[in-house]
Amino acid sequence: MVCLGKNLLADAVGYLTRAVRLRPGDARVRFNLGNAWLALDLYPAAIEAFRQIPPTPDVLTNLGTALHAMGEPQQALDLYDRVLARVPTDAPALFNRGNSLAALDRWDEAIACFRGALRHAPADTPPERLVSIINALIGALVEIGEEEDALALSRAMMPRFPDHAVLRWNASLAALQLGQFEDGWRDYESRWQVPGHDPPRADARLPDPATIRGQRILLLREQGRGDVLQFVRYAPLLAERGALVSLSVTDDLKPLLAGMVGLTAVVGEDEAEPKHDIVIPLMSLPLVFGTTLATIPAPVPYIQADPARAAVWRSRLGGEVGRPAGPRANLRVGLVWSSTNPGAQRSTTLRSLRPLLDCPLVSFHALQPAVSAADRVTMAEQGRITDHSAGLTDFAETAALIDGLDLVISIDTAVAHLAGAMGKPTWIMLPYRAEWRWLRDRNDSPWYPAARLFRQPARGD
What is the assigned CATH class of domain 307-455? alpha beta
C-alpha–C-alpha distance, residues 210 and 218, integer Å: 17
Cβ atoms of residues 71 and 104 within 8 Å:
no
Please tell me if the domain spanning 13-193 has the same topology as the one spanning 209-295: no
**278-281 vs 265-267, strand pairing mode:** unpaired
DSSP H or E run through 334: strand 331-336
On the CB side of 311, how many CA atoms lie within 13 Å of its CA?
3
C-alpha–C-alpha distance, residues 101 and 139, integer Å: 13
Cβ atoms of residues 26 and 58 within 8 Å:
no
Question: What is the predicted pLDDT for the residue at 400?
Answer: 96
Q: Where are the beta strands (DSSP E) in 185-330?
A: 216-220, 244-248, 265-267, 278-281
Cβ atoms of residues 302 and 237 within 8 Å:
no
What is the assigned CATH class of domain 13-193? mainly alpha
DSSP string, 417-439: HHHHHTT--EEEEE-SS--GGG-
C-alpha–C-alpha distance, residues 66 and 43, integer Å: 5
C-alpha–C-alpha distance, residues 206 and 186, integer Å: 11
Question: What is the predicted pLDDT for the residue at 335?
Answer: 95
Cβ atoms of residues 368 and 418 within 8 Å:
no
Mean pLDDT by 10 residues, the chain (461 residues): 92 95 93 94 94 93 94 94 95 95 93 96 93 94 91 94 92 94 95 83 90 94 93 96 95 94 92 93 96 94 95 82 52 90 73 86 90 84 85 94 96 96 96 92 96 90 81
C-alpha–C-alpha distance, residues 218 and 215, integer Å: 10
Q: Which fold has domain 209-295?
A: Rossmann fold (3.40.50)
Please provide residue 244's backbone torsions phi and psi, each rounded to the nearest 5 degrees: -100, 115
Question: What is the predicted pLDDT for the residue at 344?
Answer: 58
Query: Any alpha helices (H) in 70-164, and if so which ranges?
Result: 73-86, 91-103, 107-120, 127-143, 147-157
Question: What is the predicted pLDDT for the residue at 324?
Answer: 42
C-alpha–C-alpha distance, residues 149 and 155, integer Å: 10
Which SS3 state, helix, strand or coil, does residue 219 take? Answer: strand
Q: Which amino acid is at 320?
A: E
Counting other chains too, the contacts that 130-137 makes at CB distance below 8 Å and 24 or more residues apart are: 130/161, 131/157, 131/161, 131/164, 131/166, 131/167, 132/95, 133/95, 134/161, 134/167, 135/166, 135/167, 135/170, 136/95, 136/98, 136/99, 136/102, 136/110, 137/98, 137/111
Cβ atoms of residues 370 and 297 within 8 Å:
no
Q: What is the DSSP letter of 52?
A: T
Is cis: bond before 301, omega within 30 of 0?
A: yes
Structural domain boundaries of the chain? 13-193, 209-295, 307-455
How many of the other CB atoms lie within 10 Å of CB of 293?
10
Counting every residue, how long is the chain?
A: 461
CA-wise closest residue to 235 among 171, 286, 162: 286
Q: What is the DSSP letter of 200?
A: P
229 beta partners: none
Question: What is the predicted pLDDT for the residue at 329?
Answer: 65
